[in-house]
Structure 1
Amino acid sequence: MSDTTFADERIKRISPLRKALIRPELGGIVGTVAVFTFFLMFAFDSGMFNAQGVMNWSVVSAQFMIIAVGACLLMIAGEFDLSVGSMIGFAGMMIAVFAITLGWPMWAAILITFFICMMCGALNGFIVVRTGLPSFIVTLATLFILRGFTIFIPQLLERKTIIGGIREAAEGDWLAPIFGGKILSGAFQWMGDQGWITVFDRGNLAGKPVVDGVPMLIVWALGLVLFGHILLTRTRFGNWIFAAGGDAQAARYVGVPVARVKISMFVFTAFCATVFAVCQVMEFGSAGADRGLLKEFEAIIAVVIGGALLTGGYGSVIGAALGALIFGVVQQGLFFANVESSLFRVFLGVILLLAVILNTYIRRLITGER
């Protein structure tokens, strides 16, 4: 008997090129390479890639990244959450009301805000799975409800829509530095002493590095990306997320708890939005009723650029992170390249259209549709 192994004709062979084309991260990788190449050519001498420039676009990218992780997992599960932006504004305002107006300890204000927002996320998910209504409609309603409360509550209690004093209230708190602190300050001071990064040369800050540490916002972003990637690719729950978004009814037939998966993803999306909000109020030292505007759309665009299908069941957290990185680099890079900043919105529209076209082509490759 011959040792030759014959290929089974029933097994569809996929070429290496086809495997590469159907990777969800492809669009994000191509976009990242293109964006960095462009700004290396046209903005290299502007300071965009020195320590302070890198930190500027890294912080902006991290903001997008935090909410993109939650939006990505939810979209793969087959749902949308349009209330993310309003959740950011609402969460920040609740922290200010609890800590400043009511005088609670900052740690208590943060924890109760997380609880309230995650319960709002659970309510969104419960309504969607119990009624069968599109998540687009349910969370659109939540968007207006939360934004209305974000404006009404501070006006009722403080007669204004911006509440300050958060940075002072957070001094000495044990939980606040986890969201508003910095790490590796000693390493940056050492790099400044070695002349590797710029330091201040006059005044009280003489000798101090211009970049004095890595903000916790970036740490949270990287941590959430790592968590989301492991959850999605290395756990049974990750398989359930793909199954719930790909074909919910078929998933139920094989024992996947679709309702629990979807509700959990709504809760996680609210958690990510609240992390963003807490980091933001700690950075600015205040909460405003207009915070978070349009963030829900920016998160969805980052996820789509990262390769997720709008129909659910396909996507990548790494791709979403790359989409967020593209956002941050372009938003800050236009300033360094002396390009009119309003063109950022033009870029968003163009890149979204291109990403949807690419994703549609990928879906057809996967399903064999014409």
Structure 2
Amino acid sequence: MSQTTTTPPSAPAEASNRVTLGWSNRLLARPEVGALVAAIVIFIFFLVVAPAFRSPASFFTVLYQSSTIGIVAVAVGMLMIGGEFDLSAGVIVTTAGLVNAMFCYQLGINLIVGAVLSLVFSLLIGFLNGYLVVRTGIPSFLITLGTFFVLQGANLGVTKLVTGSVSTPNINQMAGYGTLDAIFASSFKIGSVTVEITVIWWFLFVALSAFILQRTRIGNWIYAVGGNADSARAVGVPVKAVKIGLFMTVSFLGWFIGMHTLYKFDTLQAGNGIGNEFLYIIAAVVGGTLLTGGFGNAIGVAIGAFIFGMTSLCIVYAGWDPNWFRAFLGVMLLLAVMVNLYVKRLSTARKVG
């Protein structure tokens, strides 16, 4: 009776298998992969169920919707990678616009001067948030929650005190309006499609953030601070300066979207922006940023913002009840957290291996 022997795989075959597994694990361990797969699936799904989404004009409308969340989410994502939160990001957007509009309208000052003063004021809020966090050791969740309530009340109270209503006056006839409108709220045509300038700004901010995080010493510091602040401090990373700088970055991009909102609509409601801070965080988390810090990237955050913009509009394009959008966000957040933990484990295992 003959005996069948099994020939073991050759060394080259084993090496090839190891290389294949290495590449697959390396790909899966990237923060943005889960969000990219989700974005592709959702995109295809809405192409099927929402015929209105199939036009180029609808796609660029989705990009615009994504950019209004995505620009601030870029900074919020970087802050979360650095291990902190900012729950005042939504109302800072409104505060920036209100300061610009009311200050200039009441004093008759050029809007450009008001925009600069608004920027200084916004950066001061960011600095104060960061300084209180690093000085007191109180969690950023609580510090910025306090800032959220202060700004929310001030936005409504001061606006009503100055204007007699909860909205700013129309500013489109004031000096400096044309220049600022061109920078923050203009649009241009590509064929028959209208492209909002915020889409271009969004791409630029994402590219800048990706460069900083992946190619600069500051990016290394942000990951180090978010991963383990004590260890980072021990090797000479300026932890306090990094954290304060990240809070100020959130305020800067909040100011930017505040300017866009003001010059897009020429007036601003004092109650706007409440709740948007959660959308920024959701975009970052869906894009692969860990709530615990030290993990994520700008591309993932951008994909997360695109998922938000696509879903919020495509539910309407499909003719569904838009109230389901919040339920979808909740499901996406839960799924994203689970996927992110799995990806983090893969990344950690690859580093250990």
Report the 3-state secondary structure (helix = DSSP H, G, I; strand = E; otherwise coil) of the residue aligned with 2:268.
Answer: strand
Letter of the 2:111 partner, please give it: M
Shift of 1:367: 3.6
Q: Among the aligned pairs, what percent are the same residue? A: 38
Determine if contact 1:334/1:340 at 8 Å carries over to the other structure: yes
Q: 2:114 aligns with which of 79, 84, 109?
A: 109
Report the 3-state secondary structure (helix = DSSP H, G, I; strand = E; otherwise coil) of the residue aligned with 2:168.
Answer: strand
Q: Does the alignment pair 1:339 with 2:320?
A: yes
Cα distance change, pair 171–253 in 1 and its aligned pair in 2 (3 A): closer
Moved more, 132-141 or 27-36: 27-36
Shift of 1:171: 6.1
| Residue in structure 2 matched with residue 7 of structure 1 by the alignment | none
Q: Does the alignment pair 1:233 with 2:214?
A: yes
Task: Supply the distance in 2 between the matched residues of 1:228 and 1:99 (Cα, whole angstroms).
Answer: 32
Alignment of 1:1-370 (within 5 A): 15-43=22-50, 45-46=51-52, 48-169=53-174, 173-183=178-188, 185=189, 188=190, 191=191, 197=192, 211=193, 213-368=194-349
Shift of 1:172: 5.5
Residues 6-29 of structure 1 deviation map (CA, whole Å, 9 limit, x = unaligned): xxxxxxx97222212210001210
Shift of 1:132: 0.8
Q: How many residues align?
A: 335
Task: Supply the distance in 2 between the matched residues of 1:14 and 1:250 (Cα, whole angstroms).
Answer: 32
Task: Supply the distance in 2 between the matched residues of 1:357 and 1:164 (Cα, whole angstroms).
Answer: 46
Task: Supply the distance in 1 between the matched residues of 2:348 and 2:161 (Cα, whole angstroms).
Answer: 54
Task: Supply the distance in 2 between the matched residues of 1:49 and 1:171 (Cα, whole angstroms).
Answer: 39
Task: Supply the distance in 1 between the matched residues of 2:285 and 2:300 (Cα, whole angstroms).
Answer: 9
Shift of 1:173: 4.0
| Residue in structure 1 matched with residue 8 of structure 2 by the alignment | none
Determine if contact 1:77/1:246 at 8 Å carries over to the other structure: yes
Gaps of 5+ in 2: 1-10, 12-19
Shift of 1:215: 1.9
Shift of 1:76: 0.4
Letter of the 1:271 partner, please give it: F
Residues 45-79 of structure 1 deviation map (CA, whole Å, 9 limit, x = unaligned): 32x23233123211110011111101010000000
Gaps of 5+ in 1: 5-12, 192-196, 198-210
Report the 3-state secondary structure (helix = DSSP H, G, I; strand = E; otherwise coil) of the residue aligned with 2:172.
Answer: helix
| Residue in structure 1 matched with residue 17 of structure 2 by the alignment | none
Letter of the 2:76 partner, please give it: A
Task: Supply the distance in 2 between the matched residues of 1:68 and 1:140 (Cα, whole angstroms).
Answer: 17
Report the 3-state secondary structure (helix = DSSP H, G, I; strand = E; otherwise coil) of the residue aligned with 1:104.
Answer: coil
Task: Supply the distance in 2 between the matched residues of 1:27 and 1:167 (Cα, whole angstroms).
Answer: 44
Task: Supply the distance in 1 between the matched residues of 2:175 and 2:72 (Cα, whole angstroms).
Answer: 24
Task: Supply the distance in 2 between the matched residues of 1:162 and 1:175 (Cα, whole angstroms).
Answer: 20
**Over aligned residues, Cα RMSD in angstroms?**
2.1
Shift of 1:182: 2.3
Task: Supply the distance in 1 between the matched residues of 2:169 and 2:198 (Cα, whole angstroms).
Answer: 20
What TM-score do the two structures reach when normalised by structure 1?
0.86
Determine if contact 1:106/1:173 at 8 Å carries over to the other structure: no
Letter of the 2:153 partner, please give it: G
Shift of 1:80: 0.3
Moved more, 87-96 or 263-272: 87-96
Give the structure with the larger helix fraction.
2
Task: Supply the distance in 1 between the matched residues of 2:104 and 2:36 (Cα, whole angstroms).
Answer: 42
What TM-score do the two structures reach when normalised by structure 2?
0.90
